[in-house]
Amino acid sequence: MTSTTDPRLADDVEIVRRVLAHVDGGTTDEGAPWREPVENYLDPHRFAQEIDLLRAMPSVFVPSAAIPNQGDHVERVTFGVPLFAVRGHDQRARVFRNACRHRGFALVEDAGCSHALVCRYHGWTYRLDGSLAHVPHADAFPDLDMAARGLVEVPSYEVDGLIVIGATSPDGNRVPRPDADDAMAWLTNGTAWRDKLLPIDGVLSVESYQLAINWKVLVEQFLEGYHIRWTHKETLPHLYDNLTVIETFGPNSRVTFPYCEIEQLRDRPEATWVGRLPATFVYHLFPNVIVGAFPPLAQVVVIDPVDVGHSEVIYYTMTRADVASRIPLDVEPPDPAELADYISRVVAEDNAVSAGVQRGFRAGANKFVEFGRHESAIGHFHTNLRDRLGHF
């Protein structure tokens, strides 16, 4: 797909300059404040509207590294719709609705690798491109048109380490096409994340949790550094308190969390800054996916709304190639497994406070959630969600 979008995000040199200016001035990136009604996190009717919208919008399905080889497949429920991705013999990744065309049995039940996709209920067999290859006792189906009974494909694109899908609902076109097309254009231009995410060596772990938290609260927890000192005072002492660089591209955003050691770059040539920043880059890919790029690791976090008060969250943690060239100067490369465990502890702290937020919604103390100027990436998220719901 050809995209006309241009992210125009800051390069590494500009990021360091902005961070050091903030350090010297005791400042951080600022934007417009935002007030979000508490009812929007609690109202089942509002949640139903959001799900209808999300099913009609493009989104990131899984990282490419989840299915690196021919025959690899992985399934997940996306906005309530069972789907799976499989890599064909032609190396193309395809996404299908996860239902056999005979009786609707979920064809793919776990991650794995197969030469063909065989339904374990009655043995209907599909090629990796989704076409129907074999029906046991086919004479029992005299009107069966095998060419027309292949798996139902969802439009998808593989872009710089991510597999992006189109609408998952049959009536996805209810959203004006400019909205959906524009969102797809921003997701199919990997310029914004390419050099921070790639190349990937492989998947280190896949973890899935169901949390008693509204999906929007989980998105919010990744998009500000205002909570660092209080929520992560022991786990993230190397991060600045409330110092981030915030950028937006289309409905998406990138929040840069610099480490304190970035100040060691002051006296080094700017050419040595490129590709070696002591920082974590967090991308919010609208509507529900977070990509975190750490020097030796990358993490794709998929937040699937289940109901108004629950979400399924999948964490794909991946090792990045050429680790030595990505680690900041004078820093020993960490063990990837140990770093992954450390990141999991940080995420657990975030999830714990998000659960507390969800409980607090029902206290009746607040009519709205107050997001300040330092939390503008969250306002950007809610603005885009509100505007699209308004057109739905």
pLDDT at 1: 41
Q: In this structure, what token pair is assigned to residue 13?
A: 């040199």
pLDDT at 369: 97
Under-70 pLDDT residues of the chain:
1-4, 171-177, 324-325, 327, 329-332, 392
C-alpha to C-alpha distances, 291 to 151, 340, 353, nearest whole angstrom: 30, 14, 20
Q: Rounded to whole angstroms, how far apart are CA atoms 220 and 315? A: 16
pLDDT at 222: 97
pLDDT at 329: 64
For domain 12-56+189-390, is the CATH number 3.10.290.10? no
pLDDT at 3: 46
DSSP H helical ranges for 306-375: 336-361
Query: What angle do the packed helices 44-55 and 376-390 form, to 10 degrees?
Result: 80
Q: In this structure, what token pair is assigned to residue 261?
A: 């050691």
- The answer to whether the 12-56+189-390 and 59-166 domains have the same CATH topology is no
Hey, is 266 helix, strand or coil? coil
Q: Rounded to whole angstroms, how far apart are CA atoms 24 and 266? A: 12
Q: Rounded to whole angstroms, how far apart are CA atoms 382 and 247? A: 15
For 206, other C-beta atoms within 10 Å of its C-beta total 16
pLDDT at 2: 42
Percent of the chain beyond pLDDT 70? 95
**CATH number listed for the domain at residues 59-166:** 2.102.10.10
For 136, other C-beta atoms within 10 Å of its C-beta total 10
The residue extents of the domains of the chain are 12-56+189-390, 59-166
192, 252 contact by CB (below 8 A): yes
pLDDT at 392: 59
pLDDT at 177: 63
pLDDT at 335: 82
